[in-house]
Every structure is written in structure tokens, then in C-alpha cells.
Amino acid sequence: MDRHPALQLEKTEAEHHLEYERCWQKLVTAAQEERQHSESHRSFKVGCAMLAWNGKRYEIFAGSNFKPHKNDKTVCAEKEALRKIRENGFERVIAIVVVSQHSHTEPTQEDSTKTLSPCAECQQMFRDAQEIKPTTILTTINDSNMDTANQSGGIIQERTVADVIK
Ligand SMILES: [Zn+2]
């Protein structure tokens, strides 16, 4: 069967997924590093790393939640990561990794054992953004009790965007 040469450059979903698995550790580390600049949102410090594809290569973009000005609403880490992807002309988000850690002085059990689900605004952004597909992988991690040296002990939930925007 003859295929158009341009089509052969297209990556399949399986190839994208493989790349996500290959750079999983890098994504987690990028989100954790970015979170160091984070300001607490719902008493959680959040970092987000997205694996993006521009038709030729993959790149990781990360953001943290922050307040532009003292009295402003917090801008979500997811929004910040997507802003960078657009700035750099990437066309497709393959995976979103959100890492959160509570900043409660007296944490409930849930603070350390549940991962954060994207807020309503982020869910809307996932629906609207051309770059984000229902098949985009969405991994949420609560690493409040994670041993960052060997990445063990965190709570990890892997879903797709379709699972959270229902
Ligand atoms: Zn949000």
C-alpha cells in the first residue's frame, strides 16, 4: 500500500505513549522542580509538566501555581505549562503530569493519600485547548510522603483527559 510520505512522519498514539513512558522520570522531576517556585493553592503546592510534540520532536514544559500579584487569584500550574507550550509553537500535548504536596500544618489523612484532580477551570481548558486531546494522558501524583531520592512512596493515579472532563 502506498502512503503519502508526510503521513509516515505522523506518530501513532502508541509511539506517543512509549515516549511518555520513556521520559516519565524526567516529567516528574520537572514538575517537582518547578513546584519549588509554587505558591500554595487550596493549601497545596503544585507543579505541572507536560510532554509536548511539535511534529518533529518532543519537549517538556513545566509550570507551577502562582499569584501574579498579591491579591490575584492563583494561576494553575496546568495553565502556566500550556502557556509555555503555545509560546514555543508546540501543537500537541501528549501527557500532563501534576505533582502536588500539601502545605497544611495539621494534615488530614486525605491530604497525603489523595491526588489532586484538575479544578473546574483547568477542566474547561482541557476541553477548549486544541493541543489537548481526550486521549492525552493525565497523571496526578501526591508526593507528600514520597522519598524523592528513589521516587517511592508517592500516590500515583494515571488517567486520560477524557476521564476527568466527563
Ligand atoms: Zn486548575
For the domain bounded by 1-116, which CATH number is listed?
A: 3.40.140
| pLDDT for 86 beyond 60 | yes
pTM of the model: 0.89
Distance (Å) from CA 26 to ligand 1 centroid: 22
Rg (CA), the chain: 16
Distance (Å) from CA 113 to ligand 1 centroid: 19
**pLDDT in the model for residue 133:** 96
CB atoms within 10 A of CB 15: 12
Distance (Å) from CA 119 to ligand 1 centroid: 4
Tell which wins on pLDDT, 107 or 51. 51
Distance (Å) from CA 150 to ligand 1 centroid: 28
Distance (Å) from CA 80 to ligand 1 centroid: 10
Distance (Å) from CA 124 to ligand 1 centroid: 9
**pLDDT in the model for residue 160:** 97
Residue 127 burial (C-beta neighbours within 10 Å; 0-12, 13-18, 19+): exposed
CA-CA distance, 101 to 71, in Å (whole number)? 23
The domain spans of the chain are 1-116
Mean pLDDT (whole number) for 97-111: 86
Q: Model confidence at 103, in pLDDT bands (50, 70, 90)? A: confident
| pLDDT for 41 beyond 70 | no
CA-CA distance, 97 to 72, in Å (whole number)? 25
Q: Do residues 94 and 51 touch, judged by C-beta distance below 8 A?
A: yes
- DSSP letter, residue 52: E
CA-CA distance, 110 to 130, in Å (whole number)? 34
**pLDDT in the model for residue 147:** 75
